[in-house]
Amino acid sequence: MTFLLSALAFVLLLSVLILIHEWGHFAAARRAGVVVEEFGFGLPPKVKVLFRKRGTEFTFNWIPFGGFVRLRGENALTEKERVSKGSFGAATIWQRVMILSAGVFMNFILALVLLMFGFSVGKWVPTYSSLEEMQAAAEKGVIHVELGVIIEDVVSGGTAAKTGVPEKSVLLRVDGIPIIDPADVMHIQAGKKRVTYDLLIGEDFSEEVSMTVPLEDGKSGILVALFPRTLSSPDRTLWTAFTLALREVWVMTKQTVLGISHLFHSLAVSGRVPEGITGLVGIAQLTYASVQQGFMVYLRLVALLSLSLAVLNILPFPALDGGRLLFVFAELIRRRPVNRRFELTVNAIGFFFLLSVIFIITFYDIVRLF
DSSP 229-293: EEEE-----HHHHHHHHHHHHHHHHHHHHHHHHHHHHHHHHTS-PPTT---HHHHHHHHHHHHHH
End-to-end CA distance of the chain: 23
Nearby residues of 228 by Cβ (< 8 Å), 6 or more positions away: 131, 134, 145, 146, 147, 148
Q: Is the pTM of the predicted complex or chain greater than 0.75?
A: yes
Strand-strand pairing, 56-71 and 207-214 = unpaired
pLDDT of residue 335: 86
Query: Is the distance from CB of 295 to CB of 304 less than 8 angstroms?
Result: no
DSSP string, 159-190: HHHHHTPPTTEEEEEETTEEP-SHHHHHHHHT
pLDDT of residue 1: 58
Count Cβ atoms below 10 Å from residue 278 Cβ, excluding itself.
Answer: 18
Reference 120, options 242, 297, 232; nearest CA is 242
CA 326, 328, 332, 338 torsion: positive or negative? Answer: positive
Q: Is 60 exposed, middle or buried (0-12, 13-18, 19+ CB in 10 A)?
A: middle
Reference 225, options 171, 146, 270; nearest CA is 171
How far apart, in whole angstroms, are the C-alpha atoms of residue 33 and residue 294?
A: 43
How far apart, in whole angstroms, are the C-alpha atoms of residue 196 and residue 171?
A: 11
How far apart, in whole angstroms, are the C-alpha atoms of residue 45 and residue 129?
A: 44
Name the phi and psi angles at 144, rounded to 5.
Answer: -110, 130
Query: Is the distance from CB of 200 to CB of 222 less than 8 angstroms?
Result: no
Nearby residues of 258 by Cβ (< 8 Å), 6 or more positions away: none
Q: Is 106 exposed, middle or buried (0-12, 13-18, 19+ CB in 10 A)?
A: buried
DSSP string, 137-164: HHHTTS-EEEEEEEEEEE-TTSHHHHHT
Position 259: which residue type?
G
Q: Mean pLDDT in each 10-residue stretch from start to end of the chain (370 residues)? A: 73 86 94 92 86 89 83 81 85 94 96 96 90 89 90 90 90 92 90 91 85 90 90 91 95 91 86 79 81 88 93 90 92 87 88 87 81
Count Cβ atoms below 10 Å from residue 129 Cβ, excluding itself.
Answer: 10
Reference 95, options 312, 309, 331; nearest CA is 331
pLDDT of residue 2: 63
Q: Residue 299 is inside which H or E element, if any?
A: helix 295-314
Nearby residues of 364 by Cβ (< 8 Å), 6 or more positions away: 272, 273, 279
Query: Is the distance from CB of 206 to CB of 119 less than 8 angstroms?
Result: no
Domains in the chain, ordered, with CATH?
A: 2-35+72-124+247-369 (no CATH), 144-232 (2.30.42.10)
pLDDT of residue 5: 76
The alpha helices in 32-128, defined as continuous H runs, are: 79-82, 93-120
